[in-house]
Structure 1
Amino acid sequence: MTPQPPHDPRAVFSRALDQAQQQIAALSGGELDAPTPCADYDVRALLGHMVAVLHKLARIGTGGDAGDLPDVVEGVADDGWVGAFAGARAETERVWGDAPLDHPVTLPWATLPGHAALDAYTHEFTVHSWDLAHATGRRAALDPDLAVRALEAFPKFAPPEARSGHGPFGPVVSVPRNADVYTRLAAYLGRRP
């Protein structure tokens, strides 16, 4: 029996980055100090985190260790976030365009095959797009399919019973059953939509 090639998440990952980039491009300088649903980040720090994640993904995609890279990129001019994100994205997509998806990569929280790491970060960028949209009131522009995928995947990556109360995910927040998929996703991760 011939082994099946690994799942290829690159097209969906690219869609999640498109959505994030659109949210970033819509920002005005006056919104950078606004709070976000991520307790540790205002909009500026969240942008720095998103750019840092892309740098880390590029490093691990080459087999490197991203442990020495910062969690938040700082020092970007207020009008430079679109360029910073686009540059980091281009490098990440270049690296992962050639990276074997079945090879293990080491993340800060696990060692996974490359395709699983890209899946995980696809969902992270989906959530951070919601964080930006929530912080700025631009929620209508979000792709619901990305949220459905994230909501289906997060129980594997961040089950409620494994959360310590410290870190990026809090206890699940109750929302009405008819809440839209992004509200349900945010609530599952402990954000208060």
Structure 2
Amino acid sequence: MNPLDVLRSADRRLVDLVTTLDATDLGLPSPCTGWDVRSLVSHTIASIDAFAAAADGGDGPSEEELFSGADILGSDPVAVARRSIERSQRAWATITDWQQPVTTVLGAMPAAQAVGIVTYSTLIHSWDLAVAIHRAVEFDDAEAALAENVGSALVPALRPQELFGPAVHTDGTATPTQRVVAFAGRHPL
């Protein structure tokens, strides 16, 4: 599957969720300890910008800015989300060699790995956002497969920095989405 197809799907879900937010939702707690919805969405959008910068060579947030949770949404979260996603879509659409190295806030890596990481981030944080605003999210088969693949390498590498909690045990009835988020340290619905 084309890496852009899963990215586009994850981006659409994020925008759909952000369009449902009202001012009171932005102050709700999120599953990410210490972050409310505004901080969570700001981090998610900053991640999209950071990885778009790796593909287009433009400006992006520093690692410190990326993980600060500082408000970048202002008074129009939907416009900010759409602007970042449009930039990301344009940037990644220029990649013709997915093994081409790009330099991200996490270091140099093949473009395929970078687009996988930003897609994973968007999927996981869309799930976090949905939980915070009491909505259900289920990843489709391609999203779940990408998330399992990327998460299996990314999450263990970032656990020492406490960017992910310990895996949460699930039973044999867990959906693919529940397995993905449980591995990322979230308690599935």
Q: TM-score, normalised on structure 2?
A: 0.85
Aligned residue for 2:120? 123
- Cα distance in structure 2, aligned partners of 1:67 and 1:17: 19
Structure 1 segments unaligned to the other structure (5+ residues): 1-6
Aligned residue for 1:178? 173
Query: What is the root-mean-square deviation in Å for CA atoms of aligned residues?
Result: 2.2
Deviations 1:86-141 (A, max 9, x none): 011111111221134322112233321111110111111111111011111111x5
Secondary structure at the counterpart of residue 39 of structure 2? helix
Q: CA deviation at 1:73?
A: 5.2
Q: Which residue of 59, 63, 82 corresponds with 2:53? A: 59
Aligned residue for 2:154? 157
Q: CA deviation at 1:163?
A: 2.6
Secondary structure at the counterpart of residue 84 of structure 2? helix
Q: Which residue of 18, 21, 24 corresponds with 1:27? A: 21
Distance 1:113 1:21, change over 3 A: same
Q: CA deviation at 1:159?
A: 2.9
User: What residue identity is the alignment partner of 1:174?
Assistant: H
Alignment of 1:103-142 (within 5 A): 103-139=100-136, 141-142=137-138
- Cα distance in structure 2, aligned partners of 1:8 and 1:181: 20
Q: Identical aligned pairs, as a percentage? A: 27
Alignment of 1:53-92 (within 5 A): 53-63=47-57, 66=60, 68=62, 70-71=65-66, 72=69, 74-78=71-75, 80-92=76-88
- Cα distance in structure 2, aligned partners of 1:94 and 1:16: 15
- Cα distance in structure 2, aligned partners of 1:132 and 1:91: 22
Q: Is the 8 Å Cα contact of residues 38 and 168 (structure 1) preserved in structure 2?
A: no
Q: CA deviation at 1:83?
A: 0.7
- Cα distance in structure 2, aligned partners of 1:40 and 1:111: 30
User: What residue identity is the alignment partner of 2:104?
Assistant: L
User: What residue identity is the alignment partner of 1:27?
Assistant: L
Secondary structure at the counterpart of residue 175 of structure 1? coil
Q: How many residues align?
A: 183
User: What residue identity is the alignment partner of 2:174?
Assistant: A
Bigger radius of gyration, 1 or 2?
Answer: 1
Q: CA deviation at 1:32?
A: 0.9
Q: TM-score, normalised on structure 1?
A: 0.83
Q: Is the 8 Å Cα contact of residues 104 and 114 (structure 1) preserved in structure 2?
A: yes
Q: Is the 8 Å Cα contact of residues 168 and 182 (structure 2) preserved in structure 1?
A: yes
Q: CA deviation at 1:65?
A: 7.2
Distance 1:148 1:63, change over 3 A: same
